[in-house]
Amino acid sequence: MRNDSVGTWRLRVRMMLGVAFLVAGVMLQLLESFRFLHAGK
């Protein structure tokens, strides 16, 4: 049980980190696009 719990925990951590990085990348791109639009205007 402990081994299974640890395995699932590691998978969950990896999934959370992956999603966090993807969201961070999208947010950075959106922020850059908004800054570019505001600067252009």
Q: Which tens digits make up the pLDDT trace of 13-27? A: 999 999 999 999 999
> pTM for the complete prediction?
0.59
Q: What is the pLDDT of residue 37?
A: 87
More confident residue, 6 or 27: 27
Q: What is the pLDDT of residue 4?
A: 74
For 12, counting Cβ atoms within 10 Å of its Cβ (0-12 exposed, 13-18 middle, 19+ buried), the class is: exposed
3-state secondary structure the chain: CHHHHHHHHHHHHHHHHHHHHHHHHHHHHHHHHHHHHHHHC
Q: What is the pLDDT of residue 38?
A: 85
Q: What is the pLDDT of residue 1?
A: 57
Mean of per-residue pLDDT scores for the chain: 90
